[in-house]
Structure formats: structure tokens, C-alpha cells
A = this chain, B = another copy of it.
Amino acid sequence: MPTQPTDVNVPREAPPGKVDPAYADALKLFTVLYRAHAAMHERSREDIARHGLTPAEFAVLEALYHRGPLLLGEIQAKILVSSGGITYLVDRLDERGLVTRRASPTDRRARYAELTENGVSFMREIFPAHARCLARASEGLSPAERRQAIDLLRALGKGAETAKGCRGEEAG
């Protein structure tokens, strides 16, 4: 049970903390990255939800559609879910008849996921509209700016991945 609100003083006093200007750009970058991603993700999610799929389910379908059969672990690395998550997602797509598992002939632990015929025709039907949706959603940038953004985001992402385990210490 949360505490009850009090009503003693007028709010809108000065904020208790100020941002160190040395880190202002990094924080700003994080914020705009977060919001741009949220907005794009939401456009994508809306479009996908029309077909009763979650973004993660769609990501699995898309990976298989554009790459062909993949090991569950490969999909997992590509769409960034947990190992339990990929099992769950492939189960659900299997139940819908869009995806099926296939044993690896060389490794009895491993399983491929691949689109069923239904899955292929489903993706052939819906993917172009989804691509147009994303193209629309990114019209805030010109084609040249889009290419610029791709390069910058690639470098940012690569750097952030290799900064694994950063602890924010003072010096490096």
C-alpha cells in the first residue's frame, strides 16, 4: 500500500539535480535514440498487430523469410531474445502453422526453424506493406540522411556492444 499524498506545499520548485555538461550530449543521444526507436517500433507494432502477431513473432518470420532455415540459436542472436524466448516464439508460430522445426542432420542437439508453405505465402502477402509502412515512418529523414543515420547507428551500436560491462568508472 503506497503512502497517501500530502498537500502541504506548492510543487514546481527547482529540480534537485543538474546535468553535468560533459555528459550532456551522451544523455541527449540516449534520449533521442530511445524516442526514435519507440516511435518506429510503435509504427511497426501497429502494422504487425493487424495480423495478430507480436513484433518478436514477426521478427522470427522475417528472419526465416529473408535468410531461409536457421538454427534456433541463430534466430535468437539475430532478434535478441533469451533462449527460453526463442523456444516460446517458435512454439507459437508452429501452433499457427507458419513455422516448423527440422532436426539438423549433423548435430542432434540443434534444430532448424523454417517457414511452412503457409508461412511463406503469408509473408509474401504481408511483407511488402510492412516495408512500405517502415519507409513511411522513416520519412522524417531524406534518403541521404537515412544513409547517414544508418552509418552512425551502426557505429554507435558496435561501440555500445563492445563496451559490455562498463561500470561508469572515472577514468579508463
Q: Which residues of A are at the interface with B, using a C-beta cutoff of 8 A? A: 2-20, 22-23, 25-30, 32-44, 46-47, 64-69, 80, 90-91, 94-95, 100-105, 111-112, 114-115, 120, 123-124, 127-141, 143, 145-150, 152-170, 172
A37 to B39 alpha-carbon distance, docked (Å) = 12
A28 to B113 alpha-carbon distance, docked (Å) = 23
Q: Which residue of B lies closest to A143 (CB)?
A: B25
Q: Are A6 and B102 in contact (CB under 8 A)?
A: yes
A47 to B112 alpha-carbon distance, docked (Å) = 35
Question: Contacting A136 at CB < 8 Å: which of B11, B16, B146, B163?
Answer: B163
Q: How many copies does the complex hold?
A: 2
Q: Are A47 and B167 in contact (CB under 8 A)?
A: yes
Q: Which residues of B contact A4 (CB under 8 A)?
A: 101
Q: Are A150 and B68 in contact (CB under 8 A)?
A: no
Q: Given A5-B112, A46-B165, A141-B155, 6 other A-B contacts at CB below 8 A?
A: A26-B137, A29-B149, A33-B36, A36-B157, A40-B156, A47-B166
Q: Are B16 and A123 in contact (CB under 8 A)?
A: yes
Question: Contacting A40 at CB < 8 Å: which of B12, B15, B30, B65?
Answer: B30
Can you report 30 residue pairs joining A to B where beta carbons are below 8 Å apart? A2-B95, A5-B103, A5-B111, A10-B105, A11-B69, A14-B68, A16-B120, A17-B66, A17-B127, A20-B131, A23-B131, A23-B134, A25-B143, A25-B146, A25-B150, A26-B138, A29-B134, A29-B138, A30-B44, A46-B165, A131-B168, A132-B168, A133-B166, A136-B172, A137-B159, A140-B155, A140-B157, A140-B158, A141-B156, A145-B155
